[in-house]
Structure 1
Amino acid sequence: MHRALLLILLIFILSCNSQKEEQNSKPEPKGDVNTVYIPDFNENSAFEYLKKQVSFGPRVPNSNAHEECKNFLINEISKYADAVNVQEFTHSYLGKNFKLSNIIASFNLKSGFRILLCAHWDSRPYADEEREASKRIQPVPGANDGASGVAVLLEIARILKDNPAPIGVDIVFFDGEDLGIAGDLDNFCIGSKYFAKNKPVNYLPQFGILLDMVGDKELQIFKESNSVKYAPDVVNYVWGIARELGISEFRDEIKYNVYDDHIPLNEAGIRTIDIIDFDYPYWHTTEDTPDKCSPQSLGKVGKVLLNVIYRYKSKAKEPA
Structure 2
Amino acid sequence: MKKLKGLLLLSLASYSLQAQSFIPAYQTRANQVTQTNITNLLQDFANLGVKTTGSTANTNTLNWLKAKYQTFGYDASQISEDIFTYGSTTSKNLVITKTGTVYPNIYVIICGHYDTITGPGVSDNGSGTSILLEAARILKDVPTEYSVKFIHFSGEEQGLVGSTHYVNNVVFSNNVRQLNLKVVFNIDQVGGKITNPSNTIVCESDQSSAGGTANNAPSLAMTQQLANCTTLYSPLQTTMSNAYASDYVPFEAKGDIITGFYETPVSGNQHTANDTFANIDPTYVFNVGKAAVGALQHFAVASSVLGTKESDSNKLESIKIYPNPAKDVLNVEIPSNIRNFSVEINDMSGKLISAFENERKINVSKLSKGVYMCTVKSDGEAITKKVIIDK
Partner of 2:89: 98
C-alpha contact (below 8 Å) 1:166/1:310 kept by paired residues: no
- Shift of the 176–149 alpha-carbon distance from structure 1 to 2, 3 Å rule, reads same
C-alpha contact (below 8 Å) 2:52/2:115 kept by paired residues: yes
Superimposed CA distance per residue, residues 256-313 of structure 1 (whole angstroms, 9 cap, x where no aligned partner): 6521111111112321112112612212211000112233212211211222233448
Question: Which of 110, 113, 136 is the aligned partner of 1:120?
Answer: 113
- Taking only the aligned residue pairs, the percentage that are identical comes to 20
- Shift of the 168–73 alpha-carbon distance from structure 1 to 2, 3 Å rule, reads same
- Shift of the 190–164 alpha-carbon distance from structure 1 to 2, 3 Å rule, reads same
Partner of 2:24: 34
Partner of 2:224: 236
Partner of 2:268: 281
SS in 1 for 2:181: coil
Please give the residue correspondences for 1:11-160 in structure 2 after superposition, counting only pairs within 5 Å: 31-34=21-24, 38-39=28-29, 40-80=32-72, 81=74, 83-92=78-87, 97-108=88-99, 110-112=101-103, 113-124=106-117, 139-160=118-139
Letter of the aligned partner of 2:81 in structure 1?
V
Rounded to whole Å, the distance in 2 between the matches of 1:226 and 1:303 is 23
C-alpha contact (below 8 Å) 2:236/2:288 kept by paired residues: no
Partner of 2:10: none
C-alpha contact (below 8 Å) 1:29/1:312 kept by paired residues: no
Deviation at 1:106, TM superposition (A): 0.8
Deviation at 1:232, TM superposition (A): 0.2
- Shift of the 257–65 alpha-carbon distance from structure 1 to 2, 3 Å rule, reads same
Q: Greater Rg, structure 1 or structure 2?
A: 2
Q: Relative to structure 2, which stretch is displaced further, 306-315 or 194-203?
A: 306-315
Structure ranking higher in helix proportion: 1
Rounded to whole Å, the distance in 2 between the matches of 1:76 and 1:313 is 22
Letter of the aligned partner of 2:62 in structure 1?
K
- Shift of the 165–44 alpha-carbon distance from structure 1 to 2, 3 Å rule, reads farther
SS in 2 for 1:171: strand
Rounded to whole Å, the distance in 2 between the matches of 1:221 and 1:30 is 19
Partner of 1:224: 204
Structure ranking higher in strand proportion: 2
- Shift of the 296–275 alpha-carbon distance from structure 1 to 2, 3 Å rule, reads same
Deviation at 1:63, TM superposition (A): 2.0
Partner of 1:258: 244
Partner of 1:168: 147
Deviation at 1:164, TM superposition (A): 4.0
Letter of the aligned partner of 1:261 in structure 2?
D
Q: CA RMSD in A?
A: 2.7
- Shift of the 155–28 alpha-carbon distance from structure 1 to 2, 3 Å rule, reads farther
- Shift of the 153–35 alpha-carbon distance from structure 1 to 2, 3 Å rule, reads closer
Partner of 2:287: 300
Deviation at 1:221, TM superposition (A): 2.4
C-alpha contact (below 8 Å) 1:29/1:313 kept by paired residues: no
Rounded to whole Å, the distance in 2 between the matches of 1:43 and 1:166 is 28
Deviation at 1:33, TM superposition (A): 3.6
Letter of the aligned partner of 1:226 in structure 2?
D
Structure 1: 5+ residue runs without aligned partners? 1-26, 125-138, 180-187, 316-320
- Shift of the 37–53 alpha-carbon distance from structure 1 to 2, 3 Å rule, reads closer
Rounded to whole Å, the distance in 1 between the matches of 2:221 and 2:233 is 18
Letter of the aligned partner of 1:292 in structure 2?
N
C-alpha contact (below 8 Å) 2:252/2:258 kept by paired residues: yes
Letter of the aligned partner of 1:268 in structure 2?
K
Q: Does 1:213 align with 2:208?
A: no
Give structure 1 regions of 4+ aligned residues with deviation exceeding 6 angstroms.
27-30
